[in-house]
Structure 1
Amino acid sequence: MTTKISEHIIAELLKDCKNNQDLLGENGLLANLHSQIIDSAIQNGICASLDNIDENEYSDYLFAKSLKLSHKQTIELKDEILSLYAKGLSQLQIQSHFRELKNIHLTANHISTLINMSMSDMELWRDRKLDPIYPIIYMDAMRILVKDNGIQKKKSVHIVLGINLEGCKEVLGLWIENYEGAKIWANILSELKNRGVRDIFIACCDNLSGLSKSINAIYPDTQVQLCMAHQKRASLACVKRKEQSQLSKDLLAIYTAPTLQSAEKRLNEMADKWQNNYPAMVKSWYHNWENLTSFYEYIPELRKVLYTTNAIESLNSGLRTVAKRDRTFGSDQIALNAMYLYLEVARKKWTMPIAYWQLILGQFKMLFDERF
């Protein structure tokens, strides 16, 4: 139903408005009118059923009313609360922050209501359409604790971080499963394809059994680059703590070598040095060598993007901060939402392309021109 307000009522409402601030300001006519109309509608039973009210608008109204804030102040406060929560602060810490710094007394219900309201945004984000081409993606997983039917379980959060054609970072999605496996990754990649991703040039991932085959089953032209950070971490875990610093230097010499030939030379030197005490560790380098060193086909600026994996490591560090705060998430949805809120804060900082992007994009266009 469209209700036309009479000119007489409008004139009466506007008679005390002298400027834009009186009409549109924080305490102006429109802000007060919005609040008073909803309040009156509830009191008169018109809005007894929330089915007829936008849930977010109604929650905003109740939130503003309980704290005696204007509509604009409410939006700003909501954004700040969600930002603090995303950065790893607990609800008690958020309450303390606003009480001590702004003399605003939030209840646990205020904060939990806002967090729960963001779940619908998270679902829209997870289902959104994606770009047709991502030159580079990073695939990784981390373990978290989640309650499943009242039982605490370890589950795997699967993360895909993409570099788009503008050279900017973009998280393509988060998925929670009971474990990490090649079949699960195949399902995730199929979902990405269904959401619009037509082609991926390079996929950086760990050496999970069957993962390379799963990637190429969905994206047959994608080159698989094994993650150097995972290989290095696994190698360091094999040796004594006092030997880790020296091994780290020897491994750094391998993957920062200027050419594949010099990298092979340094690999052999590392093998001669460590073979007797740690044969399994050395063997893993030879076994994975082809997929570890595929980045040598590219210019140095792109090589560094592929072997450092700083982007995914930094992202995972932030997500672990969220997991550490919550210790055990109440459900998969709660875990996904907490991580989504962190990603929203991170996304606002990802406005610039990665270093030397135009140079890197130029090489991609030279090598994969027919795929653009």
Structure 2
Amino acid sequence: MTQLQFNLDFEKIKQEVFQSDLNDVVKSSIVLLFNEYMEMERNQYMKSAPYKREEDRKDYRNGYYERDLVLNIGKVKLKVPRTRSGEFSTELFEKYKRCDKAFLLSMLEMVINGVSTRKVTKVVEQLCGEKVSKSMVSGLTKKLDPIVKEWAQRPLNQQYYNYIYVDAMCIKVREYHRVVSKAVYIALGVNSQDKREILGFKVANTESKETWSVFFKYLKSRGLQAPKLVISDAHEGLKAAITESFLNTSWQRCTVHFLRNIIKEMPKKGSKEARDHLKEIFKAPTAKISRMLKNEFIEKYEDDNKYEKATKTLDEGYEDAAQFYTEDKDTHVHIRTTNVLERLNSEVRRRESVIRIFPNIDSAFRLIGAVLMDCDEAMDPGEKRFFYRDED
């Protein structure tokens, strides 16, 4: 028996189709091509061409049934051949299932990257000529749940994290027909190989000592050990939770937030010299020089009523803001502030702002988790490190 050799390069066909102007004639050609391919598959399965009686033939033809196939370029209606036994099955749909998955992943990626559900449905309609409901896009994002949950529960006992940055950001969530604020806790660590890693996150009702303690307990339950330094702002509940949760760990007060607090207590006019002096305190190369600059500032301005609160704030908070001097000099510029986490928060905020109000806490956890996973994967790839030592 002569077999029809019919080899298709699906990637080439797809590329050429995508680049063409898809009118009805082109779509009809695709239908003919795919129908012919499936007919060839059935012939090879049966080991017999139509109207041929072969001794080793397998099964009998049993007509066709119609089936729609939605491609990235639109929907086409195909005639799928079948056999009497029902054992024959074309591979064409399986081949294109990968394309469908890729397309769904593209839709999902659009959502994660901050494209609104409404815009995603419009993009799909333009690409496929088929309308996709917002509920379908929302349902698609739920496929992230097991992936995000697995990542959020991964063990943390494989590495030691010298430094941990923590911060909270507020989001809006719809709850019982009301729009309420929720706190999103995020922790980022720097391990012993000087690489960053997002350790975890949590959505909570408020920012308080109790909820911060729950967040740290969650990290420790996954194997997190007490770090050398925790870097954060000076939220009172957070400070208390750090003290109780991590023994023998120092707290580094973010110098950017600290300086803002001091400058807020200074006069707006005529204070440039004082502000410049203040900033130099935490840019000093050594703790000795920093402390000297601090003492000079206090001696110079403490008797001026306009600077009384500023000098008091500096004196009371200096030690907590100068803990970074106990670490290697190469790390100082990175561990004296929470800037690295602020940039991460901004990336989350950029994508979250499209949604504005999450329909529920689950959707907030899902999307923010997906964004953080995406950011985590891009952090310090290959040989890149967060700190560059003098010996590098």
Quote the residue 2:330 is aligned against. Answer: 301
In the alignment, the residues of structure 2 paired with residue 163 and residue 246 of structure 1 have an alpha-carbon distance, to the nearest angstrom, of: 36
Q: 1:145 to 1:22 in 2, by over 3 A?
A: closer
In the alignment, the residues of structure 1 paired with residue 165 and residue 120 of structure 2 have an alpha-carbon distance, to the nearest angstrom, of: 33
| 1:200 Cα deviation after fit | 1.7
Which of 179, 189, 200 does residue 216 from structure 2 map onto? 189
Which of 358, 365, 370 does residue 336 from structure 1 map onto? 365
Does residue 256 of structure 1 match 2:283? yes
Quote the residue 1:54 is aligned against. Answer: none
Which of 182, 192, 197 does residue 155 from structure 1 map onto? 182
**Equivalent residue of 1:325, what SS?**
coil
Quote the residue 1:208 is aligned against. Answer: 235
Does residue 121 of structure 1 match 2:163? no
In the alignment, the residues of structure 2 paired with residue 319 and residue 338 of structure 1 have an alpha-carbon distance, to the nearest angstrom, of: 9
Quote the residue 1:45 is aligned against. Answer: none
TM-score by length of 2: 0.68
In the alignment, the residues of structure 2 paired with residue 114 and residue 245 of structure 1 have an alpha-carbon distance, to the nearest angstrom, of: 54
8 Å CA contact retained: 1:83, 1:342: no
Q: How does 1:135-154 map to 2 (within 5 A)?
A: 135-154=162-181
**Equivalent residue of 1:179, what SS?**
coil
Which of 169, 175, 194 does residue 202 from structure 2 map onto? 175
Q: 1:265 to 1:164 in 2, by over 3 A?
A: same
Moved more, 209-218 or 323-332: 209-218
- Which deviations, in whole Å up to 9, do the C-alpha atoms of 1:262-283 show, x marking residues without a partner? 2123324444458632533432
Name the amino acid aligned to 2:327: Y
Q: 1:91 to 1:278 in 2, by over 3 A?
A: farther
**Equivalent residue of 1:354, what SS?**
coil
Name the amino acid aligned to 1:152: V
8 Å CA contact retained: 1:132, 1:199: no
In the alignment, the residues of structure 2 paired with residue 93 and residue 247 of structure 1 have an alpha-carbon distance, to the nearest angstrom, of: 51
Q: Percent same amino acid among aligned pairs?
A: 22
**Equivalent residue of 1:120, what SS?**
helix
In the alignment, the residues of structure 1 paired with residue 191 and residue 130 of structure 2 have an alpha-carbon distance, to the nearest angstrom, of: 42
Q: How does 1:199-238 map to 2 (within 5 A)?
A: 199-209=226-236, 211-238=238-265
Q: 1:95 to 1:293 in 2, by over 3 A?
A: same
- Which deviations, in whole Å up to 9, do the C-alpha atoms of 1:227-253 show, x marking residues without a partner? 222223333444566679766644431
Q: How does 1:36-47 map to 2 (within 5 A)?
A: none
Moved more, 246-255 or 65-74: 65-74
Q: 1:247 to 1:259 in 2, by over 3 A?
A: same
Q: 1:254 to 1:327 in 2, by over 3 A?
A: same
Q: Which has the larger radius of gyration?
A: 2
Does residue 86 of structure 1 match 2:112? yes
Q: 1:157 to 1:22 in 2, by over 3 A?
A: closer
- Which deviations, in whole Å up to 9, do the C-alpha atoms of 1:304-358 show, x marking residues without a partner? 1101433101001112223322222221111111211211321232143434356
Moved more, 202-211 or 184-193: 202-211
| 1:286 Cα deviation after fit | 1.5
In the alignment, the residues of structure 2 paired with residue 187 and residue 210 of structure 1 have an alpha-carbon distance, to the nearest angstrom, of: 12
Q: 1:193 to 1:355 in 2, by over 3 A?
A: closer
Q: How does 1:260-299 map to 2 (within 5 A)?
A: 260-271=287-298, 272-273=300-301, 276-299=305-328
Q: How does 1:345-364 map to 2 (within 5 A)?
A: 345-352=374-381, 353-357=384-388
How many residues align? The count is 316
In the alignment, the residues of structure 2 paired with residue 187 and residue 141 of structure 1 have an alpha-carbon distance, to the nearest angstrom, of: 14
Higher relative contact order (CA 8 A, sep 6+): 1
In the alignment, the residues of structure 1 paired with residue 105 and residue 270 of structure 2 have an alpha-carbon distance, to the nearest angstrom, of: 47
- Which deviations, in whole Å up to 9, do the C-alpha atoms of 1:109-165 show, x marking residues without a partner? 342222222123222222222234211110101112222222221221111111223
8 Å CA contact retained: 2:186, 2:202: yes
Q: 1:236 to 1:328 in 2, by over 3 A?
A: farther
In the alignment, the residues of structure 2 paired with residue 243 and residue 160 of structure 1 have an alpha-carbon distance, to the nearest angstrom, of: 39
8 Å CA contact retained: 1:140, 1:205: yes
| 1:20 Cα deviation after fit | 9.2
In the alignment, the residues of structure 1 paired with residue 181 and residue 274 of structure 2 have an alpha-carbon distance, to the nearest angstrom, of: 32
- Larger proportion of helix: 1
TM-score by length of 1: 0.71
